[in-house]
Amino acid sequence: MSGRIDVDPATGKPMNPNRDRNYEPPREVEGMKDNTAQGASRFAEYFIYVTDYAWNTGDPALIGAVSADECEWCKETSRQITEMKHADGWVDNLYSKVLQSGDAMEATDQPGTWGVRLHVRTEPTTIYTGSELHDIPSRDALFDVLLRWNDDTWKVIKAGWPNGN
């Protein structure tokens, strides 16, 4: 377990060690507002930090702000975050680092839609679901993001861990 976890005497549930921390929304990644292949790659990196922020705060609103309505992964992740928060669950300081951002590739069958594969390392974290405490080890994994330029910004239309990692 990541350090000492206090128990709420009123509920008997583990308390988030970072409950008093004020998480800042992620900073924009340089170039992420450009309607270019590099802009798509930078926005995909930003999306990783948006997801961390949502889990750490229990507030998925920013995921909704950067994703399109058709992003099922985004909706499911937002649902899980909301469900965890309603169960008095929490995530203890999830931190991901993008080790490598692949070149954005335009989908040949969907002009204006770009795919980016990221190599991501997540640091060890503790998750409390509201009923179970889990220590999650550090891991390196690939994460795919499909984006489309919408008016003046990128929107995530599909995302996820290939091969279910």
Q: pLDDT value at position 3? A: 58
Calpha distance 91→14 (Å, rounded): 11
Integer angstrom CA distances of residue 21 from 6, 36, 57, 79, 138: 15, 36, 9, 23, 22
Cβ–Cβ < 8 Å for 56, 18? yes
With bands split at pLDDT 50, 70 and 90, how would you rate the model's confidence at 165? low
Angle (deg, nearest 10), helices 37-57 and 72-86: 20
Residue 1, pLDDT above cutoff 50: no
pTM for this predicted structure: 0.91
With bands split at pLDDT 50, 70 and 90, how would you rate the model's confidence at 41? very high
Q: What is the pLDDT of residues 71-130, one digit of tens each?
A: 999 999 999 999 999 999 999 989 999 999 989 999 888 888 999 999 999 999 999 999
Calpha distance 112→105 (Å, rounded): 10
Q: pLDDT value at position 164? A: 64
Q: pLDDT value at position 14? A: 87
